[in-house]
Amino acid sequence: MVSKPIKVDIWSDVQCPWCYIGKRKFEAGAAAASIPIEVEYHSFELAPDTPVDYEGTPVQYLAERRGVPAEQAKAMIERVTGIANAVGLDYDYEHIHQTNTVISHELLHFAKSKGRQLEMKERLLKAYFLNGEHVGRIPDLVEIAVELGFDRDEVTEALESHRFLPDVKADMAQAREYGINGVPFFVFEGKYGVSGAQEAETFANVLAQVQSERDA
């Protein structure tokens, strides 16, 4: 008998380095566990007050927003880049465009309405961390969507009308209901919470435990 998939709801932001690393680790853990899963991503805006056209570098951003000295910020970025590299992700912080991600979350909900959210999630993370693409402006996001085969007029209308903004807000409200303060955050079967970019082995163990308890 084929087991019913484990539902995994993941709160994540597009410009969250641990979310991409955690995504890779989760995928590796799920593959190792060989347990059927159904994944749904949810919006979480880490810095909703960031201007869309923020001009500074990630180092300047950390310095301005958090008062982190430039040398320390560089060291932090070097460390997270090294950790990303260990899971096969070549972060390009030299060309990252720090921005406001709310419209990219709207695009994720648009893609979800077409049954293609997972594909869009991967593409947007790749756009931000690997390709140096802008993920805050409608024209740039439309180009990404068109590249994936979405209809240009339809996606433009969806983003310009902000008709998926209520879905973004609903995700944020749900995160507050769960008491989620940071991302990535994984909710299994609406009952178990796992915070952060865990090791792949941990995700595999969690999936096995959740399945075992659910099917007991």
Partner 1 sequence: MDAMTAPLPVIKLEALGDPGAAACEGDFCAIPDHHTQAVVNRRLDDDDV
Binding residues for partner 1, rule: CB under 8 A, are 13, 16-19, 21-22, 46-47, 50, 61-62, 65-66, 76, 79-80, 82-83, 86, 169, 173, 176-179, 181-185, 187-188, 191-199, 202-203, 206, 209-210
CB of 206 vs partner 1, minimal distance in Å? 5
Strands 185-188 and 192-195, sheet pairing: antiparallel
Tokens found for residue 176: 């507050």
Q: Is the dihedral of CA 195, 198, 200, 203 positive or negative?
A: negative
Pick 43 or 150: Cβ nearer partner 1 = 43
CB of 39 vs partner 1, minimal distance in Å? 17
Pick 25 or 112: Cβ nearer partner 1 = 25
Burial code (b: 16+ CB inside 10 Å, e: under 16) for 117-152 equals beebbebbbebbbbeebbbbbbebbbbbbeeeebee
Pick 68 or 148: Cβ nearer partner 1 = 68
CB atoms near residue 170 (< 10 Å) = 13
CB of 127 vs partner 1, minimal distance in Å? 18
Backbone angles phi, psi at 180, to 5 degrees: -80, 125
Pick 26 or 150: Cβ nearer partner 1 = 26
